[in-house]
Chains A and B, each alone.
Chain A
Amino acid sequence: NAGVMQNPRHLVRRRGQEARLRCSPMKGHSHVYWYRQLPEEGLKFMVYLQKENIIDESGMPKERFSAEFPKEGPSILRIQQVVRGDSAAYFCASSPGQSGEKLFFGSGTQLSVL
């Protein structure tokens, strides 16, 4: 029973390029959360999705960031025209239901913008 899989583990982009972060939830989980972690700042909520629906994107910047969780395939967090300030660790978590009682986290994607 594989856990939450995130790839790539490390992603290097130059300013202005696009970054695509992938997250495959645990089998049977239909709820996905994306968080961003900066040093000394803990985890900041970005977006919460169910299959084919964005439930809450209140933590996601209005521009350049988007997320999807299609019926088939992984959830994707997409960052267009990356800037140095986007450098961070991005974590995905999944849960079987919407109660948020227990989240299962992936190992994260470390995005570095040069």
Chain B
Amino acid sequence: AQSVTQLGSHVSVSEGALVLLRCNYSSSVPPYLFWYVQYPNQGLQLLLKYTTGATLVKGINGFEAEFKKSETSFHLTKPSAHMSDAAEYFCAVTSASGGSYIPTFGRGTSLIVHP
């Protein structure tokens, strides 16, 4: 079984401030981990993913995330928030289940960016 917990349904930052969105996962086998972003009235877009190898992964729009196995975490960060970053962010985990990989998503964190 796999699950994802995103701490904080809403995160508010000022433009130019650090963005930190938290994600903890549970998986009985080595996971693949993802962050997706959803803008209003749109589908989800992949920001970044971890499968194997380097634990610090860089994604689009200046975001990055670090896989920490000991903490079962995959927090998303960006050094300086931009107004255009305001959106809903979803963490997801995938691991093999009966031969198929079906992503499980967290509840989402709404990022609010103040001018």
Contacts and interface: CB of A to CB of B under 8 A. Distances in A.
Contact of A40 (B9, B49, B103): B9
A56 B49 contact: no
A102 B42 contact: no
Contact of A43 (B46, B101, B105): B105
B68 to A, nearest CB: 21
Interface of B: 9, 32, 36, 41-46, 49, 51, 90, 94, 97-108
B107 A40 contact: yes
B43 A105 contact: yes
B49 A101 contact: yes
Nearest to A31: B100
B4 to A, nearest CB: 9
A35 B105 contact: yes
Contact of B104 (A4, A45, A99, A105): A45
Contacts of A48: 100, 102
B42 A107 contact: yes
A55 interface: yes
A42 B98 CA distance: 24
A107 B43 contact: yes
Contacts of A17: none
18 contacts: A33-B102, A33-B103, A40-B9, A43-B90, A43-B108, A55-B100, A56-B102, A91-B43, A98-B99, A99-B94, A100-B94, A100-B102, A101-B94, A102-B49, A105-B43, A105-B44, A107-B42, A108-B43
Given A101-B51, A107-B41, A42 B46 contact: no
A98 B100 contact: yes
A99 B99 CA distance: 9
A105 B103 CA distance: 13
